[in-house]
Chain A
Amino acid sequence: MSAVFEVHDLVSLYWEKGPFDLIVCRNVLIYFNTQLQDKVFSFLLEKLKVGGIIAFGSRESVFYCQDFNQLEILDQDARIFRKIG
């Protein structure tokens, strides 16, 4: 089994690649205001497969993002989630 790694600059919310099995975006959203956090969060979820895993920084407040209900919590303290829908 082989894995493909891709890097994306979040300045652009348009990207043809994906959806992915795993997205790691640690300690990036903290630099955005809550409106932009919401936008980027939704973009990342769009690019995540159902059943895929997404990880944020340990004290990021992703619980308040509007699409958070698409995720189930795997490890709350480590901010690791799985997309359920």
Chain B
Amino acid sequence: MPESLEKLVNTVIIGASAGGIAAIRTILSGLHSLGSCRLIIVLHRMKNVESQLHELFQRFTPIPCLEVSDKMEAEFGKIYIAPANYHLLFEKEGSFCLEADYRVNHSRPSIDVSFESAAFAFGPAVCGILLSGANEDGALGLKHIASRDGSIIVQDPSEAEFSKMPLSGLKVNPDSAVMQLNEIINYLNFIQ
């Protein structure tokens, strides 16, 4: 475990795109509990598909999975899924807010937007994890998290189903911790 990751992280944000559902499913299946952490999932999806992702993920974990509505409280010990067609941001007091502004990196929700907002709201308490994906969203967001003393993890590109997103995360943030999914699971079970 890199020393830089042994901080008081309580807000973990996972960003993913193509190949992300399977990777997140693997992570959730390996999580014992969240303890005093909260886990937020920002996943790209088709804009016209009304998918109930939180119900899908709930099948793989006993930890409550909820889809975010505007101004919802981000409680510890729970998993939150960004809704389709909104950017997901955070208030310092710990609630979510949604925005319907333009797409960023062709995406809404954009991982960059959520990472940057979390970095400004929670600073060193944030851990950003970038998984499989076929575009470059999330890389700049990780940089914001690192600049506010948060922790940043990139999925090992050799393991990711689509390596473009983790590779671009690493290109912008060469100091990211590189982990395979089983190491990410161990880390999440460790920090709680």
Residues of A within 8 A of B (CB): 27, 29-31, 34, 37, 57-61, 64, 77
B97 CB contacts on chain A under 8 angstroms: 30
B50 CB contacts on chain A under 8 angstroms: 77
A58 to B52, CA, bound (A): 13
The B145-173 residues at the A interface (CB cut-off 8 A) are none
Since A30-B70, A30-B97 are in contact, a sample of 20 more A-B pairs with Cβ atoms closer than 8 Å, ordered by chain A residue number, is: A27-B100, A29-B70, A30-B86, A30-B98, A30-B100, A34-B71, A37-B71, A57-B86, A57-B98, A58-B85, A59-B68, A59-B69, A59-B70, A59-B83, A60-B70, A60-B98, A61-B71, A61-B72, A64-B71, A77-B50
In this complex, how many residues of chain B approach chain A with their Cβ under 8 Å: the count is 14
> What is the number of contacts between chain A and chain B, taking CB atoms within 8 Å?
34
CB nearest to A28 among chain B residues: B100
Chain B 73-116 near chain A by CB (<8 Å), digits 1 or 0: 00000000001011000000000011110000000000000000
CB distance from B22 to the nearest CB of A (A): 25
Nearest-CB residue, chain A, relative to B87: A30
